Amino acid sequence: MTATAAPALTGLTVDFHNIPGAMMRVLNSFTRRGLVIQAVHVAPMGDHHRAHVVVEALPITMEQTIRELESTVGVDAVAPIESAQIERLLTVSR
């Protein structure tokens, strides 16, 4: 376990159905762990929605978050975001 490792900038792509509460549940999976969301972008993608969420977190925290998201009602798929995309998400509104 990497208890001494410093949290790094990281993020997840979450595909979910925009049923009531689903988006809040996605974001809550991060905030309930004390993580501060650095960037978030959500938009419709065909029959579902896609969220990109960027946080600073330890790998173990992200692994737990992925598993929790995978069992969250409304969520279809979860995948880590590539680092280049993280940079883009952080600058998108500038």
Partner 1 sequence: MPITGAEILLESLKREGVEVIFGYPGGANIPIYDALYNSPIKHVLVRHEQGAAFAAEGYARASGRVGVALATSGPGATNLVTGIADAKMDGIPLVCLTGQVRQNVIGTDAFQETDVVGLTLPVTKWNAMITSTRNIPTLIAQAFYVARSGRPGPVLIDIPVNFVREKIDDPASIHYPDSVTVPGYTPDKPPTGSEARPIAKLIEMLQNAKRPVAMVGGGVKWAGAVKQVRDLLDTLKIPVISTVHGLGTVSEDRDYYLGMVGMHGTRQSNMAVSHSDLLIVFGARLDDRVTGDAASFARHAKIAHFEIDTAQLSRVRPCDLPVVGDLKFTADEFHESLPANLPDWSEWRKETTATPNPAEKVHVGTGKPSPTKMLEMLFAMMDPDALMTTDVGQHQMWAAQRASGIANPRQHITSGGLGAMGFALPAAIGAQMAYPHRQVISVSGDGGFQMNIQELATIQRYSLPIKVVIIDNKYLGMVRQWQQLFWDRRYSEVDLYDNPDFIKISEAYGIPGVLMSKAESMEAQLKEFLAMPGSATLVVECPAEANVYPMVPAGAALTDMVWEEKKK
Q: Does 74 bind partner 1 (CB under 8 A)?
A: yes
Q: Does 5 bind partner 1 (CB under 8 A)?
A: no
Q: Does 78 bind partner 1 (CB under 8 A)?
A: yes
- Among residues 62, 27, 57, which one has the least CA distance to residue 42? 27
* Min separation Cβ 76 and partner 1, Å: 5
| Residue carrying the six token digits 């991060």 | 30
Q: Does 46 bind partner 1 (CB under 8 A)?
A: no
* Min separation Cβ 68 and partner 1, Å: 5
Q: How far apart are the C-alpha atoms of 93 and 19, rounded to whole Å?
A: 27
* Min separation Cβ 54 and partner 1, Å: 20
